[in-house]
Structure 1
Amino acid sequence: MSAPPAATAGPPAGDPHRAPWKGAFPYVGAILVLFLAASSAPSPLYAIYQQQWHFTAWVLSVVFALYVVGLLGSLLVVGALSDHLGRRPVLAAAIGLEMVALVLFSFAGDVFVLSAARVLQGIATGAATTTLSATLVDLEPSHARGRAGVITSVSPLTGLALGALGSGVLVEFGPAPTRLVYTLLFGAMALAAVVVALMPETSLRRPGAVASLRPRVAMPAHLRADIVPVVPAMIASWALAGMYLSLGPSVAAELLGLRSHLIGGVVVMLLTGTGALAVFLLRSRSASSLLAPSSALLGLGTLISLAGVADDLAWLAAVGTVVAGLGVGASALATFGTFARIAKPHERSEVFALANIIAYLGNSVPSVLGGIAVTVLGVRTATGIYALAIAVIAAAALVLRLTQIRAERRAAMAPAAKAPAAAAAPATAVSCH
């Protein structure tokens, strides 16, 4: 997900008395991490909810998918709203909606309230992440150009890792396992609201707010050759993340005998934390150079994890998760970096809308299908099918990218091959005379 371009470097003309808060940048980055941490906090709790409310795995995966539906809808509808209303009003609304969702989580007594909380959380997270990314660009220090891009790249996976791990620790060792984590997150969101109230407004109000709510999605014909090889890699990466976030703790408990709620958080953290590290370490590499390696790592890591699950070897499953996590991080840079590279300025909003649709459908639809498979076939069989499907899709992405590389090399060599022939033609004509 790319951040919208910066609007203003200082306080807007509409608020001349508000002095810039030079220290706002790190706080805005922390709020971005906080939203993503809140989104993964329920993952270690799903096993508890299942035990208390006696719902099946496919219902659990639907609950997860509802979050994605809210998130994707929010990204498509209100993603550009802060460019018209200002950053602070949209952030305030997103924080308020997130706090409502956290209250619902805290007092949820059935799967319907849990589902409502997840939908609201998805909407809030979608609105917040796009606006916070833009705010980081607005507030980026002049002496550290590029820092906003690093933060927006690393923060999502970092937040997912911290949220799942922190929730697992609190559920395992703290009191009131289904309430404590949400109470703490509510307090953190209240502090975030204070930060937003104190921070400078960095985007002037301008007309077009209503028109900006209309989703715009496009795949320009001249970009299809570059987009098609990226799609399988996106699907494999996001489907794997969806499985870990929705069913990962259940797989660890039922197949590997790791029934500690802390392990549920560790499982998610191994994937997303490693992914965040990969994003940070590989941030200077070109997107085109990462697509093939990321696909290979995704497929290899998934197969290693599957081997660990099949042989009841938790350490091998963990190693595979780390390898796959490297693939997830590299794939995020490769896929979204490709969209950023190929789209012209006037195409970017529609093209990135398409990228988000591909990513989040890949995140949610396979998770729902996996949950249904778990209910019908059992955890072990469904996990094996899911993992093999991801490995096959990753392999397809690798083959497509290697084919694309060969085609690019042949196209580059063709002019060089024609040059000697063109140079020899006049000489041949002279000799005939």
Structure 2
Amino acid sequence: MSTTTAVRTTNRHLTGFWFVATAFLTLMAFGTAPTPLWPIYQVTDHFGAFTVTIAFAVMVIGAASSFRLLGHLSDRFGRRRIILPALATGIASAAVLAAWPQLPGLLIGRILTGVAVGLMASTATVYLTDLYREVRPDAGSGFPALVATVSNLGGLAIGPLVAGALAQWAPAPVRTSYVIFGGLMVVLLLLVLSSPETVDTALADQDRPVRFAVRAGQRGAFWSAATVGFFAFAVMGLFSSLGAIIVRGQLGITSYFVAGLASFVCFAASAVTQLALRRAANPTVLLIGTVMFPVGLALTALSLYRPALWLVLVAAGLAGGGAGLLFKSAVVTAVVAAEPASRAGVLATYFVIAYVGMGLPSIAFSLVIRHFALRPSMIGFAAVLSIGAVIAASQSVKKKTT
């Protein structure tokens, strides 16, 4: 290969790296875009917090199903061949949500969103690693893993902020954000189409990778990491499904933009803390996350007794930052535990468990507050998640040291 050809190949992989990262971020932002819009749906369709949680949870069900059934396929069929259908499904979801703003359309659109997220998340993470290794074959995997995590959580943070701003100041609040995100995904689909494939599909077809394969002695470490991911995502699910409703109901703030701030701060703190500690050792990241997580949840419960926007946002930041560090530590552990040829399948299993954590505790919480007062329910919720996260993190440390 000539020097000119090698440079062109390198540039193509580097460009593809950033195309995929942007597509990842955009689709994840689209996934949380409805967060500040839940109060609007409540008014127009006359349903309560439990229905909102179900509307949020069907996305989680779609994502978990997609992770479980399809998340491993890029190990065999190629990364790009899975990313493109993910974007196409996201575009279809945006079209349904924009054209059919009533509850049935909301549920169908959110299921499609979940399928798109499931296809994207595990595939994009390993695709970024593959593309970067073509550019820097001697480099470690730290940078693409960081970009993948920031794209994931940064996208989840940007979605409520953008949708809240559009709902507050643009026309057609429940349609505009979906149209804009759908248009962006159309452009990104075309850009990713030009990105190089990194999987030798002929070789993969001859030697089909096992869907879930971890290295010898690493199975316990993987399952402990997945449990950490479950509790980390539970906090993100709470702020995504009920954050705007709590801000509106407890603080009496009617601004859609402000309603999305709690969720934005939660996810943004997740991304920022990971950037700030990107050079820290994984045990250090896990330890700091394990401390921040329960403190943030305790302040979240306190904010219901002392309603103030600043306290809600500080609580969301600490809880989200702690959850982000737990998530980052767990992802690193899962990647290290996986057999190289089964990374997408192992990450898919990890994300199934994490996304179940995003949906199941929020549904349980919304059921509890139908029969008990919100404030003591939040104290119990915070205690259960904090204790669970601490136990899971301690088990993760033990498994990695044995």
TM-score in same-fold range (> 0.5): yes
- Could you say which residue in structure 2 is the equivalent of 1:71? 63
- Could you say which residue in structure 2 is the equivalent of 1:190? 186
Q: 2:118 aligns with which of 126, 129, 140?
A: 126
Deviation, 1:31, is: 0.9
CA RMSD between the two structures: 3.2
- Could you say which residue in structure 2 is the equivalent of 1:26? 18
Distance of 1:401 and 1:237 partners within structure 2: 14
1:313 aligns with 2:305: no
> Residue type matched to 1:177 in 2?
P
Query: Which aligned pairs between 1:326-337 and structure 2 lie closer than 5 A?
Result: 326-337=321-332
Distance of 2:309 and 2:14 partners within structure 1: 47
Q: 2:88 aligns with which of 73, 83, 96?
A: 96
SS at match of 1:377: coil
Distance of 2:364 and 2:209 partners within structure 1: 31
- Could you say which residue in structure 2 is the equivalent of 1:424? none
- Could you say which residue in structure 2 is the equivalent of 1:421? none
Deviation, 1:160, is: 0.6
Distance of 2:204 and 2:338 partners within structure 1: 23
CA contact (8 A) 1:43 1:245 kept: yes
Q: 2:146 aligns with which of 145, 150, 168?
A: 150
Distance of 2:126 and 2:196 partners within structure 1: 13
Q: 2:197 aligns with which of 195, 201, 208?
A: 201
1:144–1:252: structure 2 CA closer, same or farther, 3 Å change rule? farther
1:37–1:210: structure 2 CA closer, same or farther, 3 Å change rule? farther
- Could you say which residue in structure 2 is the equivalent of 1:165? 161
Q: When the two structures are aligned, how many residues end up with a matched partner?
A: 391
- Could you say which residue in structure 1 is the equivalent of 2:292? 297
1:243–1:292: structure 2 CA closer, same or farther, 3 Å change rule? same
Between Structure 1 and Structure 2, whose CA radius of gyration is higher?
1
1:390 aligns with 2:382: no
Query: Which aligned pairs between 1:409-428 and structure 2 lie closer than 5 A?
Result: none
1:280 aligns with 2:280: no
> Residue type matched to 2:194 in 1?
L
Q: 2:358 aligns with which of 360, 363, 366?
A: 363
Q: Report which stretch shifted further, 159-168 or 50-59.
A: 50-59
SS at match of 1:80: coil
- Could you say which residue in structure 2 is the equivalent of 1:425? none
Q: Report which stretch shifted further, 68-77 or 114-123.
A: 68-77
> Residue type matched to 1:76 in 2?
R
Distance of 2:122 and 2:224 partners within structure 1: 26
> Residue type matched to 2:367 in 1?
I
> Residue type matched to 1:323 in 2?
L
CA contact (8 A) 1:57 1:372 kept: no
> Residue type matched to 1:291 in 2?
L
Deviation, 1:192, is: 0.8
Which stretches in structure 1 are left out of the alignment for 5+ residues?
A: 1-9, 12-16, 412-433
Distance of 1:213 and 1:346 partners within structure 2: 6
> Residue type matched to 2:273 in 1?
A
Scaled by the length of structure 1, the TM-score of the pair is: 0.80
Q: Report which stretch shifted further, 47-56 or 81-90.
A: 81-90
- Could you say which residue in structure 2 is the equivalent of 1:259? 254
CA contact (8 A) 1:81 1:212 kept: no
- Could you say which residue in structure 2 is the equivalent of 1:105? 97
1:280–1:72: structure 2 CA closer, same or farther, 3 Å change rule? same
1:324–1:219: structure 2 CA closer, same or farther, 3 Å change rule? farther
1:349–1:128: structure 2 CA closer, same or farther, 3 Å change rule? closer
CA contact (8 A) 2:227 2:354 kept: no
> Residue type matched to 2:276 in 1?
L
1:220–1:48: structure 2 CA closer, same or farther, 3 Å change rule? farther
1:220–1:135: structure 2 CA closer, same or farther, 3 Å change rule? closer
Deviation, 1:286, is: 2.5
SS at match of 1:130: helix
Distance of 2:131 and 2:293 partners within structure 1: 35
1:80 aligns with 2:68: no
Distance of 2:26 and 2:206 partners within structure 1: 29
CA contact (8 A) 1:32 1:128 kept: yes
- Which 4+ stretches in 1 moved above 6 angstroms? 207-214, 217-222
Distance of 1:216 and 1:210 partners within structure 2: 18
> Residue type matched to 2:250 in 1?
L
Q: Report which stretch shifted further, 31-40 or 284-293.
A: 284-293
CA contact (8 A) 2:213 2:346 kept: yes
Q: Report which stretch shifted further, 84-93 or 200-209.
A: 200-209
CA contact (8 A) 1:80 1:212 kept: no
Distance of 2:48 and 2:294 partners within structure 1: 28
Deviation, 1:75, is: 1.7
Deviation, 1:191, is: 0.7
1:220–1:303: structure 2 CA closer, same or farther, 3 Å change rule? farther
> Residue type matched to 1:320 in 2?
A
- What is the percentage of aligned positions where both structures have the same residue? 24
1:400–1:96: structure 2 CA closer, same or farther, 3 Å change rule? closer
1:59 aligns with 2:54: no
SS at match of 1:23: helix
Distance of 1:389 and 1:211 partners within structure 2: 44
CA contact (8 A) 1:283 1:333 kept: no
CA contact (8 A) 1:374 1:381 kept: no
